Structure 1
Amino acid sequence: MGHWWYRNIIEPGKLPMLLALLSFVTSFLVTRVITRLIRAGRGPFKNVTPGGMHVHHVVPGVILVIVGGFGAVGSGRHGIGALASAVVFGLGAGLVLDEFALILHLDDVYWSEQGRKSVEIVVLTAALVALVLGGFLPFGVNDLTYEERQSRGLVAINAATNFFLALIALWKGKPRTALIGILVPFVALIGAVRLARPSSPYAKRFYANRPRARAKAGLRAFHHDRRWAGPRRRFQDFIGGAPDPSPPDSPPDTPPGPDVSRGSDRRH
């Protein structure tokens, strides 16, 4: 364990990335705790509303990301400056991605159903960074031996193949599989060879005239969503809090009735 820690974290200069990951996760968790307390009306925390304008925490998050990013560029990968910049960057990234859904929709959807995207993107980001810290390199280059890495052509072919598989998985409507597949090629291969999601561009292009394939893809997507939607929602609610219930659908408008006055005029 000590040898792995030194080889993958300390020796290659990955300590700043480790600190950035820890501060990123801490920033997100602390922010979620505070926002849930504010939502419940507990504790001393309140929304920041100078002059009646609600300042979302994505604003200080962007400032911290800028400071940490430029600080990291200026200080390099070693030294106290690099470590401090990594921590500042991680704190800011946690604040920014906690309101990812707000940025995406350009609306305050923090406690709505759309706000679940923020929790999902934070978990996915943390997982990808953790894989990189664990020694995984993009497009599976880490699977090659040292001698194989000396051949630029072999490295290029390996990276291009894995990149192509990740693109196919994305084309088939599997963005999570594609992102993880960038670091773990076997995952991208599974996403590339399995049936596409029914609403994906791939399905619309190749399943349009194949009713059996379209029906099979829809059935598989239905079973997958029924199996995993519940656990995923419970996990998201546990991490980020349950969204506000959606308002009930308004009743349809009543069509206008007959013009009684006009009919009454005709009777007289």
Structure 2
Amino acid sequence: MQTEAVEINVVVIVPNQGVGLWMLGAFVLTFGGTRMVTRLIRAGRGPFRNVEVGGTHVHHQVYGILAMLVAGAIEFSYRPGTPGAQILAVLFGAGAALTLDEFALWLHLEDVYWSREGRKSVDAAFLAVAVGLLLVAGFNPFSDVGSGAANQLVFAGLMLVNLALCVGTILKGKTALGVIGLLVPLVALVSFCRLAKPDSPWARWRYPPGSRRAERALRRYPPDRRTRLDAVKDFIGGTPHR
């Protein structure tokens, strides 16, 4: 009786951390360079000026959107190998930096680049870097899911609970922690249990004016509150108009 040997090849798919590092590096360098150029334009120093076409100010997010569209279309259509994948990663990362640097503009639909509202662009960039570092480090919350139906059902339930915590954290005015909580569930749990910011949707719904929670939120997050992180944002993004 003959037995035939059967060769089974198991393919393990892991995130391409090398390409992710190229993308993250391009994002950081482009964002830093963009903020340096815009601050020079604001101060009237150097050869840099705002780009205008036919009297219309062309914001740099336009170039970022085009770069991401081109990089995404080529990647999905051709799936290039080395060095094409790295080139596309750099193009996408640079485009994302140019786009998120004006995140506040497409959120408020007006030019608030140097106002306090414009600081949301710096927050968005910080958040993108934090998520990028987690992805480059190979963090994958879905890697330990078992193959059994019971395991998958429990995992799906935990993911729904974590998603609800993330949404609640964002409604409490802590957008960055809510997004990071999608990858690190403990962050979402701790952030959700803490006090909401007084100008957040959660505070407007759950903290009646004059209530103890409303007063605690106002003491915890006063309008003129400044932190060390705010000083870092001023150093990187420039001081907003007061």
TM-score norm. by structure 1 comes to: 0.74
Per the alignment, residue 36 of structure 1 pairs with 39
Q: Which runs of 5+ in 1 are unaligned?
A: 1-9, 247-268
Partner of 1:263: none
Q: Which has the higher helix share?
A: 1
* Cα distance in 2 for residues equivalent to 1:97 and 1:30: 13
The whole-number CA distance in structure 2 between the counterparts of 1:216 and 1:234 is 24
Amino acid paired to 2:154:
L
Q: Identify if the C-alpha distance between structure 1 residues 146 and 77 changes in structure 2 by more than 3 Å, giving closer, same or farther.
A: farther
Q: Distance in 1 between matches of 2:119 and 2:149?
A: 41
CA contact (8 A) 1:48 1:55 kept: yes
Q: Distance in 2 between matches of 1:103 and 1:149?
A: 43
Three-state SS of the structure 1 residue aligned to 2:142 is helix
Tell me if 1:234 matches 2:208.
no
Q: Is the 8 A contact 2:61 2:98 kept in 1?
A: yes
Structure 2 CA distance for partners of 1:117 and 1:209, relative to 1, 3 Å: closer
Letter in 1 for 2:73: F
Output the amino acid matched with 1:205: W
Give the CA deviation at 1:145.
6.9
Q: Which has the larger radius of gyration?
A: 1
Aligned CA RMSD, in angstroms, stands at 2.8
What's the CA shift string for 1:58-105, capped at 9, x where partnerless?
Answer: 121111111011112123374433222111111111111111122222
Comparing both chains, which one has the higher relative contact order based on Cα–Cα distances under 8 Å and sequence gaps of 6 or more? 2
Partner of 1:217 in structure 2?
217
The residue number in structure 2 matching 1:251 is none
The number of residue pairs the alignment matches comes to: 230
Structure 1 distance, partners of 2:201, 2:120, is 21
1:202 paired with 2:202, answer yes
Question: What secondary structure does 1:47 align onto?
Answer: coil
After the TM superposition, which of the residue ranges 97-106 and 70-79 deviates more from structure 2?
Answer: 70-79
Distance 1:171 1:103, change over 3 A: closer
Partners of 2:23 and 2:78 in 1: how far apart?
15
The CA distance in 2 between the partners of 1:78 and 1:146, in whole Å, is 32
Tell me the residue number matched to 2:76.
Answer: 73
Contact 1:24 1:93 in 2 (8 A): yes
- 2:63 is matched by which residue type in structure 1? P
